[in-house]
Amino acid sequence: MVSVTVELRNVEDTQAALGWAGGHTLVVDRPPGRAGGQGLGFNGAQLLGLAIGGCFCNDLHYVATEMGVGLSRITISVRVELESDLSFTKAAVMTVSCETLDGSDPQPVIDEAKARCMVSNSLKRGIPVAIEAAI
């Protein structure tokens, strides 16, 4: 089994958190005025949308490389729809557009990336999430 671990710690003198995996970092926060948020980084819904779209973008490149197809322009938009109390995501809709370098139809690349996209496939199937207190 392969696993990935990310870490998050509070950012001193703020109520934001700094998250990292390897040498990559990002800031997580709430919108200004919401539970002490200052809008210093992404909120959970935005991170979910970025995970969905970012994973798909990577998979487009993996699939295109395997198929020997060069990609030029990729445009991905993800809309995350939340329950009114913001405690649950009702749906996510991703719109994808890409062009190949040789002008061929990109649909086979999109279709294969859709079949292999770890984040969207995991969400569709549902994954257990355990939340444990560190002692």
Give yes or no for residue 72 having a pLDDT over 90: yes
Give me the mean pLDDT over the 103-113 stretch: 97
For residues 49 and 71, state if they share a domain: yes
* Backbone phi, psi, residue 45, to 5°: -65, -40
Q: Report the number of distinct structural domains present in the chain.
A: 2
What CATH number did the domain enclosing 76 receive?
3.30.300.20
- Domain membership of residue 3 as a residue range: 1-42
93 in a structural domain: yes
Question: Residue 133 falls within a domain, yes or no?
Answer: no
Cα torsion angle, 112, 60, 102, 68, sign: negative
Asked, for residue 135, whether it belongs to a domain, the answer is no
CA distance 5 to 23: 12
Longest CA–CA span in the chain (Å) reads: 57
69 and 110, same domain (yes or no): yes
Q: Write down the H helix ranges in the chain.
A: 44-67, 107-116, 118-125
Domain for residue 21, yes or no?
A: yes
Residues 37 and 47 in one domain: no
Same domain for 61 and 48 = yes
Q: How far apart are CA 50 and CA 14, in angstroms?
A: 23
pLDDT value for 83: 93
Residue 135 has pLDDT above 90, yes or no: no
Separation of alpha carbons 122 and 118, rounded Å: 6
Contact 108, 64 (CB under 8 A): no
58: pLDDT confidence band, cut at 50, 70 and 90? very high
Query: 118 and 82: one domain?
Result: yes
124 and 55 Cβ atoms separated by less than 8 Å? no
Q: Is pTM, for the whole model, over 0.75?
A: yes
pLDDT mean over 115-128: 96
Does 70 share its domain with 113? yes
Whether the Cβ atoms of residue 32 and residue 58 lie closer than 8 Å to each other:
no
Assess whether 79 and 101 both reside in one domain.
Answer: yes
pLDDT of residue 60: 98
In which band, very low, low, confident or very high, does the pLDDT at 12 lie, cut at 50, 70 and 90?
very high
Q: Which value, in Å, is the radius of gyration of the alpha carbons in the chain?
A: 18
The reply to whether 113 and 92 lie within a common domain is: yes
Do 36 and 76 fall into the same domain? no
Query: 67 and 123, same structural domain?
Result: yes
